[in-house]
Amino acid sequence: MARPRVFFDISIGDQPAGRIVFELYNASAPKTSEKSDCLAFIPIAASLTCLALHSFRALCTGEKGLSPLSERPLYYKNSIVHRSIPGFMLQGGDFTKRNGTGGESIYGGPFPDEDLSRPLDSEGLLCMANKGPNTNNSQFFITLRECPHLNGKHVVFGRVIRGYDIVERMAKVPTDEKDRPATPIVISNCGELMLRAQVPQKKLEARSASESVSDDERHPHKKRRHPSASPDGSRSRSRTREPRPASRSRSRSVDSASPERKRHKSHKKSKHGKKHKSKKDAKTVSPARSGSPHGHPPEPASETESQYDARLEREENDRIEAARKRELERVTRRLKEEEERRTTKSGGVRFKGRGRMKYLDPELQRERT
């Protein structure tokens, strides 16, 4: 089973820095799960997700809405990294007070430590910040190195799998005497990344069966043609035709005598045949274009872990390219505005090229005169 993955889109000041992707651990064996009441837990199967993972994932998606206590959105979006210690860790998640003294879990209060067995033995680990045993809320920290002195004191529930260079850039932002970043480091967007799954075959068969039934109901006048039965009870393929009257045969002979009229009839018939054929082709081609025999869009194919990682990398590259284009447009627009302002200030005189050739703008000169 694939582990849950969430992301942070980070901005340093007004500039987008990039995306960090976390993988959340769900292989541990916690003994509790959240209930509707604050800190009310019941023992259940040991394979369920731990409390820290469930709270962090829900705060990334914002699915829990407003908090009944603080009446603030239970959402990491637009919160800040309020503490940065180079060579140690980055801390954030305080979306209520934004200074490290607040924070709120989805359970309405602090929740207990569940699994303290994972060591803080590398960089890029995602851990719960606390004020002592069993005081976890929404605050978290990302390690910048191994921290053996914190083993057994903090719950490790995830790790950075993509964008650790963004974490290093965040750690390089200058801080004040209280370890607060001088330039705001903001989580501009966050959410969960979902693995594309294939629709089960049983659902596809049920859908095709229901569509065939609906087609029959939609066209009840279309009845099957049955071969005619012979008097002795056996079915015969031949149809009995009544003899044609003599007047009709006479008119046919007259028509055959007029070649011009015959030519006109054959032209009309070929035209009608072409039109009928094109309609038939269009009917046969349209389901193929739509990707399924009933004209529905094709179902998404199942996605492996490697395809999932490749898709994430492709989306990240597209997002970086779009951000670069926006930044280039902004810089170009700013330079153009500065040039226009300088030209207006100098009375329409503009210097162009290396030799600083003087250029008088006729429009501005006309306005001055």
CB 57 within 8 A of CB 114: no
As a whole number of Å, the CA-based R_g of the chain is 37
Residue whose tokens read 């503009």 = 350
Which residues are marked as active site?
Answer: 83, 88, 91, 130, 141, 150, 154
**CA-closest candidate to residue 323, choices 103, 16, 105:** 16
User: Using CA atoms, how far apart are residues 313 and 333, in angstroms rounded to an integer?
Assistant: 30
